[in-house]
Amino acid sequence: MTTHPEVKLYDTTLRDGTQGEGVNFSSLDKIRIAEALDQFGMHYIEGGWPGSNPKDVSFFERAADLEWKNARIAAFGSTRRKDIAVEDDQQVQTLLDAKTPVITFFGKSWRLHVTEILRTTEEENQAMICDTTRYLKENGREVIYDAEHFFDGFKDSCEHALATLAAAKEGGADWLVLCDTNGGTMPHEVAEITETVMKELGIAVGIHTHDDTGVAVANALASIQAGATQIQGTVNGYGERVGNCNLTTVIPNLQLKMERPVVEDITQLTHLAHFVDDLANCAHNIRAPYVGATAFAHKGGMHVNAVQKVAHSFEHIEPKSVGNRQRILVSELSGQSNVLMKAEELGLPVEKGSPEALAILQNLKELEEQGYEFEAAEASFELLIRKHLLTYKPLFDLKEYHCTFRRDGERDYQSCSATVKLILDGVEEYRVAEGDGPVNALDAAMRKALRPTYPQIDDMVLNDYKVRIIDSHMGTGAKTRVLILSSDGSESWGTVGVSYNIIQASWRALIDSIEYFLAKHPR
């Protein structure tokens, strides 16, 4: 087996990642993410621009007092300004004041940026790079030079682009990082140019790619194959425009596919991806390679039948190797194998060919014809199975429910209220509640009715509510599908309801959610 140089991981989620639309972290979020990255085994963690905003100031102050087990914290900035001594540049001084062991700074590689953006000469640009590197090294820092727009600059003038790298090397840089800042370079170009840099400069090289053409991960891997030994990227691919190289994809590709180990315990990868999503308040990308909820999901009946016999017949790795899990989806494409494996996954074994198995499958297809979908409503599907297996016991009987909305234009007043009448342990419970809307009012009335018998209902919360119009060509006469996502603080589950009446569809999804919760949390 060929021995390859060790690849170092450089995370820039806290700086480059926050430049993505909709991504925002508090100073506490940044510390928590940095601690999670350190625990995972990241080699470098870039904290942001020191002094640029209060959150980054707070981050570096707190980071200086923490003990980091695996990672080296990096501050990020730029070269000195043109026509000023590096010792007199306040921005450079701020980098040193952050007291990080590593400083990463960028400079211009593309003549277009030198002449049209900086409005200076090529010679002054190279002096800015060299002076900044030398000054940071003289102050005892590990220095990483990010060559901004390097690939575009190289294709414009390879002599000029290489000269900027030579200036950083002359100043004593520890790393030269080639940046595809506009994200427009192809993998074969990245490989060829990386090889040229390695041959010409003879110094440790890193790669920083953006995903504007959808090949950021491929570009990073191509550069590694050509000799680079550092990959810069972000968790979940957060970043400006369409994002950066996705570390949650590139790490398992390196470790599991290319035999280039980078972390000790890659089984924590899915947890890390979801943790960062949660702090960013971003929805998980269910189709993300390796860590997405559908990465190892099987839907087609023939596929499921094969997976039931030999899992790796339709799985390129074991899901648990990256902390994920296999999922069997149920839909109109389902066969008995889907139902059997899903029932087994839920702890409800069903015998193949049994009347119960055939009845569940038939019921499933009838419901999907009506507009139901159970892929994101596993709780509703579990209740369906239990009803066919006769293990389902109703926890209450519904007598009636009623919902009203009142709008008084003259007094600028509106209200929504709901009433429910239930039978619990032979006792009738009739409750009224108001809410912000019909679903909120129904939920509040149900909780009032259930609370005396099931006080644990207060531990259940509704996290999300989605409405989908089915057969939209029917206009206002179309069916509505409602998906509700609920949680008890540690587990989440989805339920579904379908009806021509949006209130009825919402009610069905709501009742399934409540029944599922109470069955999991008995008195």
- DSSP structure class, residue 518: H
Q: What is the pLDDT of residues 234-248, one digit of tens each?
A: 999 999 999 999 999
141 three-state secondary structure: coil
Predicted TM-score (pTM) of the model is 0.71
- The pair of structure tokens assigned to 196 is 């040229």
Ramachandran bin of 239, using left for φ above 0, alpha for ψ from -120 to 50, beta for the remaining angles: left
pLDDT interval class at 438 (50, 70, 90): confident
pLDDT, position 1? 42
Percent of the chain past pLDDT 70, that is, above it, reads 92
Structure tokens at 9: 């991981």
Q: What are 274-285's pLDDT values in tens digits?
A: 889 888 878 789
Q: What confidence score (pLDDT) does residue 41 get?
A: 96
Rounded distance, CA 208 to CA 217, Å?
A: 10
- pLDDT band at 304; cut points 50, 70, 90: low
- The answer to which of 330-339, 374-383, 438-447 has the lowest mean pLDDT is 330-339
Q: Cα–Cα distances in Å, from 329 out to 88, 294, 302?
A: 63, 9, 12
Hey, how many other C-beta atoms are within 10 angstroms of the C-beta on 287?
Answer: 10
Residue found by looking up tokens 């060559």 in the block: 147
Tokens (6 digits) for 2: 């060929």
As annotated, the residues of the chain forming the CATH 3.20.20.70 domain(s) are 8-264
Condensed to tens digits (0 to 9), the pLDDT of residues 387-428 reads 888 777 888 888 999 988 888 767 667 889 999 999 988 889
Residue 334 has a pLDDT of 53
- Confidence at 336, pLDDT banded by 50, 70, 90: low
Range with the lowest mean pLDDT among 17-31, 90-104, 367-381? 367-381
Residues 483 and 509 sit within 8 Å (Cβ to Cβ): yes
- The whole-number pLDDT of residue 382 equals 87
Under CATH, domain 8-264 is a member of which superfamily? Aldolase class I (3.20.20.70)
Mean of pLDDT values over 293-303? 70
Print the SS3 string covering 103-117: EEEEEECCHHHHHHH
Cβ atoms of 487 and 460 closer than 8 Å: yes
460-509, pLDDT tens digit by residue? 998 888 888 877 666 667 788 898 989 988 888 889 999 999 899 999 99
Q: Structure tokens of 195?
A: 């090889």
Residue 349 CA to residue 497 CA, distance in Å, equals 25
Q: Which two tokens stand for residue 305?
A: 């039948």
Q: What is the pLDDT of residues 254-266, one digit of tens each?
A: 999 999 999 999 9
Going by their DSSP bridges, the two strands 230-233 and 175-180 should be labelled as unpaired
Domain with CATH 3.30.160.740 in the chain: 396-453
**pLDDT tens figures, 144-203:** 999 999 999 999 999 999 999 999 999 999 999 999 999 999 999 999 999 999 999 999
Whether residue 452 is predicted with pLDDT greater than 80 in this model: the reply is: yes
Distance linking the first and last C-alpha atoms of the chain: 59
What are the beta bridge partners of residue 434?
Answer: 417
Residue 43's pLDDT band (boundaries 50, 70, 90)? very high
Average pLDDT value over all residues in the chain: 89
Cα gap 523→518, rounded to integer Å: 8
Q: Which CATH number among 3.30.160.740, 3.10.180.10, 3.20.20.70, 1.10.287.130 corresponds to the domain 396-453? A: 3.30.160.740
